[in-house]
Amino acid sequence: IPQPPFEARLNLAQYLFSSARYQEAEAAFGALAEIAPDETRQTLRLKQGEALARLKMNEEAIGVFESVVREAENPRDVQKGLFWLARIAVRLNDDSRLMGLEKQLAENGPRSPERIRAMYYVADALDDAGDFEGASIAYRNIINTFPSSRTAKEAAWRMGWMAYRNGNFDEAIRVFL
């Protein structure tokens, strides 16, 4: 029995993923990546890695995303791979790796949405570590670099919350109002 056409298999993989059937989706995207044309291979690998990340199979996902970053020719694929590596670094509390990945995103996609989120992850990591001055600088950098983004609004809120938590109520009021 012949295999269904590539497009039908791709539709099935996307359906499995959107239905949160990540284990099956991971296998489907991986199989498709093996036979895909060069221009779509890394996009399929990204979806495979994302399925692995959603399954919390962190080491396997890291391997997939690192290969995408190494092999992708499309800058957007590289940025997405770096973003997912940063997201996993947050999950694993690997702050030094997170900082390095954000720097790589700054070089590979300084205005990309993936970089904005990675910057936010860094600011949160600094806040969680008790480095309130560093976190404040990082949040302010997001606000100044991407002023109209949703992440800038989140960063401003976090700055106000950080001020409130630290008893700096006048600053919290200034930020929240």
pLDDT digits (tens, 9 = 90+) for 61-120: 999 999 999 999 999 999 999 999 999 999 999 999 999 999 999 999 999 999 999 999
Sequence letter at residue 89: A
- pTM for the full predicted model: 0.90
pLDDT of 120 reads 97
Reference 83, options 49, 54, 118; nearest CA is 118
Mean pLDDT of 40-55: 97
pLDDT at 31 over 90: yes
pLDDT at 2 over 90: no
**What's the angle, vertex CA 134, arms to CA 138 and CA 155, rounded to 5?**
35
Q: Is 42 left (phi over 0), alpha (psi -120 to 50) or beta?
A: alpha
Task: Name the average pLDDT for the chain.
Answer: 96
| 131: three-class secondary structure by DSSP | coil
N- to C-terminal Cα distance for the chain? 66
pLDDT of 177 reads 87
pLDDT at 34 over 90: yes
pLDDT of 146 reads 94
pLDDT of 27 reads 98
Q: How many CA atoms lie within 13 A of 96 on its CB side?
A: 0
Whole-angstrom distance, CA of residue 48 vs CA of residue 17: 9
Six token digits for residue 50: 């994302």
Contact in structure between 123 and 142 (CB atoms under 8 Å): yes
pLDDT digits (tens, 9 = 90+) for 139-169: 999 999 999 999 999 999 999 999 999 999 9
Six token digits for residue 29: 């995207």
